[in-house]
């Protein structure tokens, strides 16, 4: 076991996008690349992170699975809950193992 033990990252992307007028800000391109892909690449670049779970809105799950499918450490894309806490619980239930540390990535 390394210094950090097992680390999992949760990318919390299940918000309603109300401040963006309903547009999913993570699907918006930034210099031609969707923000969610840039986020995933940044998280995947951290060698201590062994597993990544993206928690998103129910209506985005399939779209994000297709978009993010090439990520080597992506464990799952799962639907979120009605609150941020409930959505975070989905990460813990989806992880293959219980990480000794989680790194929530929120927008």
Residue 33: band (very low, low, confident or very high) from pLDDT cuts 50, 70, 90: very high
- pLDDT-based confidence at 29, cuts 50/70/90? very high
Residue-wise pLDDT for 49-84, tens only, equals 888 888 888 888 999 999 888 888 888 898 886 766
Read off the tokens for 86.
């409930």
pTM: 0.74
């Amino acid at each position: 076991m390394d210094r950090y033990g097992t680390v999992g990252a949760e990318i919390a992307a299940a918000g309603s996008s109300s401040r963006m007028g309903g547009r999913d800000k993570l699907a918006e391109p930034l210099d031609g690349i969707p923000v969610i892909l840039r986020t995933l690449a940044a998280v995947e670049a951290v060698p201590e992170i062994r597993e990544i779970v993206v928690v998103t809105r129910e209506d985005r799950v399939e779209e994000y699975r297709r978009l993010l499918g090439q990520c080597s450490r992506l464990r799952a894309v799962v639907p979120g809950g009605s609150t941020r806490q409930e959505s975070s619980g989905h990460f813990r239930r989806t992880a293959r193992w219980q990480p000794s540390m989680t790194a929530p990535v929120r927008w």
